[in-house]
């Protein structure tokens, strides 16, 4: 099977490429990128005026399967990814049961391979049951192809346990992803501690809770030499610590979410539970610091932290709502609107942070359209204007703080291993 994508502007940071070219795909892999390809193909896609990029890679997603299918499952979650232009996702282990053994890693991978619409990587737990006490079977899970390890949603509070985990995973060159928020400092709060929390009378979570946790994680990375990736960095203090750590050569990387790059705690002012998230949305000074860090390379990747919840779970008072909301179907549009069309970032920088760089950190065979690589491709209309309407989402957890937002830029086709999984916003049925 040959597919020819013609006349698109190919932006591929992995090859320093930004040019109008043709892309030939054969049997699921990239066969050629050239100015003009005349070879006959089974299908030709006219991409004039559109961007053709390596498929987006989201290394922080919650698919909720097994056990929490009322929020999401592998089918609906991967459909949402396809709709958003995302071709590889890494799912977090806070399911029911927790993904803390190899049988669960294999189970998710098998089901995703059979029924998923995009590539699914699995993040295993660091500790059994995410309880922060006993180490999970990380070696076994690594053998079954776990991408990395995380107790996402929970901080591994015991420094001894986290250090042991770091020493353990270095033996097989994996990465610990840390949800770096000190539990004691954060457990009495529901949103970012600041002017807005004081004004609306919601107990706050100090940024200090994140800063001290990140400081500890960096020290453990330095001491053990293990690679530590800080999930969803949201505070300016944490950013500065990571910047300095990188300068000192400590093996630490980090990601920022779409929402922490584009929303402030003002979004929480009307108690909309769609804005309750962990870490919380912070004030403008923090958002600006994260943007600066994205620019100077301190932040390596943009992620969604797609964390769907059933609508009725979020239909409660602000403080009782579970943290998180969906993100796969809004991430590209929101980032293009807020960071590209405002001239803050180039398209090359954005595709780098949403595809090539996260793939490189976790050594995924993704994020590049080099000849011979899997043909995971996102085709983007940079100028398509659209309004976020959660009723059109594929995800089950429809609530989003971006509801009703006017966006400019959208994925118009998504291809995984040479096959279209989304065209014109519609996920292709099998």
- Where along the sequence are the contacts to Zn ion (CB under 5 A)? 152, 305
Binds 401, which of ligand DOR, Zn ion, none (CB < 5 to 8 A, cut-off by type)?
none
Binding mask 317-356 for ligand DOR (x = CB under 6 A): -----xxx--------------------------------
Prior bond of 105 cis (ω within 30°): no
Q: How far is the CB of 157 from Zn ion (least distance, A)?
A: 17
Local structure of 314: helix, strand or coil? helix
Question: 116 contacts which partner out of Zn ion, ligand DOR, none, CB within 5 to 8 A by kind?
Answer: none
Q: How many whole angstroms separate alpha carbon 408 and alpha carbon 406?
A: 7
User: In angstroms, what is the minimal distance from the CB of 263 to ligand DOR?
Assistant: 13
268-299: b (≥16 Cβ within 10 Å) or e = beebebbbbbbbbbbbeebbebbbebbeeebb
Measured from the CB atom, the residue of 152 and 338 that comes closer to Zn ion is 152
Q: Which of 305, 381, 389, 424 is catalytic?
A: 305
Residue 204 binds to ligand DOR (criterion: CB under 6 A): no
Nearer to Zn ion, 279 or 409 (CB): 279
Determine the Cα–Cα distance for residues 265 and 275; give it in Å rounded to an integer.
8
Question: Which of ligand DOR, Zn ion, none is residue 259 near (CB under 5 to 8 Å by kind)?
Answer: none
Q: Which residues pair with 374 in a beta bridge?
A: 29
Please identify, using beta-carbon distances, which residue of 253 and 368 lies nearer to ligand DOR: 253
Taking the complex as a whole, the smallest distance from the CB of residue 263 to Zn ion amounts, in Å, to: 16
Cis, peptide link before residue 97, omega less than 30° from 0? yes
Q: Helix, strand, or coil here: 144?
A: coil
> Is 400 an interacting residue with respect to ligand DOR (CB under 6 A)?
no
Among Zn ion, ligand DOR, none, residue 124 binds (CB under 5-8 Å by kind): none
Kind and range of the H or E run holding 104:
helix 102-115
Contact by Cβ (8 Å): 218, 228: yes
210 vs 357, beta carbon nearer ligand DOR: 210
For residue 291, state whether it binds ligand DOR (rule: CB under 6 A).
Answer: no
Radius of gyration of the chain (CA): 20
Distance CA(253)–CA(350), nearest Å, equals 17
Q: Which residues pair with 306 in a beta bridge?
A: 61
Q: Which of residues 51-90 bind ligand DOR (CB under 6 A)?
A: 62
Q: Is residue 94 part of the contact set for ligand DOR (CB under 6 A)?
A: yes
> CB of residue 20 vs Zn ion: minimum separation in angstroms?
38
State the helix-helix crossing angle for 102-115 and 74-84, rounded to 10 degrees.
60
Selected from 9, 109, 179, 260, the binder of ligand DOR by CB under 6 A is 179
d(CA 72, CA 152): 17
The pattern of x and - marking residues 133 through 172 that bind ligand DOR according to CB under 6 A reads: -------------------xx-------------------
Least separation in angstroms between residue 355's CB and ligand DOR is: 22
Answer for which of 108, 277, 375, 377 binds ligand DOR (CB under 6 A) is 277
Whether 140 is catalytic is: no
**With binding defined as CB under 6 A, does residue 192 bind ligand DOR?**
no
The token pair that represents 333 in the structure block? 């549009």
307 touches 261 (CB < 8 A): no
Distance CA 356, CA 171 (A): 26
Active site residues: 305
Chain residues that interact with ligand DOR, rule: CB under 6 A: 62, 94, 152-153, 179, 277-278, 305, 307, 322-324
């Amino acid at each position: 099977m040959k597919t020819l994508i013609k006349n698109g502007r190919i932006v591929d940071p992995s090859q320093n490429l930004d040019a109008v070219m043709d892309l030939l795909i054969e049997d699921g892999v990239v066969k050629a990128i050239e100015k003009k390809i005349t070879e006959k193909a089974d299908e030709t896609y006219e991409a004039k005026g559109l961007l053709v990029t390596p498929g987006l890679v989201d290394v922080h997603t919650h698919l909720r399967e097994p056990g929490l299918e009322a929020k999401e499952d592998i089918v609906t979650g991967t459909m949402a990814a396809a709709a958003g232009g995302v071709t590889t996702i890494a799912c977090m282990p806070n399911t029911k049961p927790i993904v803390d053994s190899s049988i669960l890693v294999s189970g998710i991978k098998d089901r995703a391979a059979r029924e998923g619409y995009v590539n699914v990587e699995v993040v295993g737990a660091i500790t059994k049951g995410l309880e922060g006490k006993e180490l999970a079977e990380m070696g076994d899970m690594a053998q079954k192809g776990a991408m990395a390890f995380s107790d996402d949603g929970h901080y591994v509070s015991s420094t001894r346990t986290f250090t042991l985990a770091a020493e353990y995973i270095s033996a097989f060159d994996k990465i610990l992803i840390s949800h770096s928020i000190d539990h004691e400092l954060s457990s009495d709060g529901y949103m970012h501690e600041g002017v807005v929390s004081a004004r609306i009378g919601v107990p706050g979570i100090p940024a200090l809770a994140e800063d001290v946790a990140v400081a500890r994680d960096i020290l453990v990375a330095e001491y053990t030499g293990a690679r530590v990736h800080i999930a969803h960095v949201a505070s300016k203090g944490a950013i500065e610590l990571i910047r300095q750590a990188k300068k000192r050569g400590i093996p630490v990387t980090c990601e920022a979410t779409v929402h922490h790059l584009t929303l402030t705690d003002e979004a929480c002012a009307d108690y909309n539970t769609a804005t309750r998230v962990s870490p919380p949305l912070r004030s403008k000074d923090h958002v600006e610091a994260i943007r600066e860090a994205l620019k100077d390379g301190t932040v390596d990747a943009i992620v969604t932290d797609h964390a769907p919840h059933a609508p009725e779970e979020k239909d409660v008072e602000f403080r009782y709502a579970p943290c998180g909301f969906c993100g796969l179907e809004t991430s590209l549009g929101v980032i293009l609107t807020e960071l590209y069309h405002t001239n803050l970032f180039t398209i090359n920088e954005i595709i780098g942070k949403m595809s090539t760089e996260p793939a490189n950190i976790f050594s995924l065979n993704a994020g590049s359209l080099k000849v011979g690589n899997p043909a995971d491709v996102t085709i983007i209309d940079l100028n398509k204007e659209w309004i976020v309407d959660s009723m059109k989402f594929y995800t089950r957890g429809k609530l989003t703080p971006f509801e009703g937002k006017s966006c400019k830029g959208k994925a118009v086709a998504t291809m995984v291993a040479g096959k279209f999984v989304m065209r014109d916003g519609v996920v292709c049925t099998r």
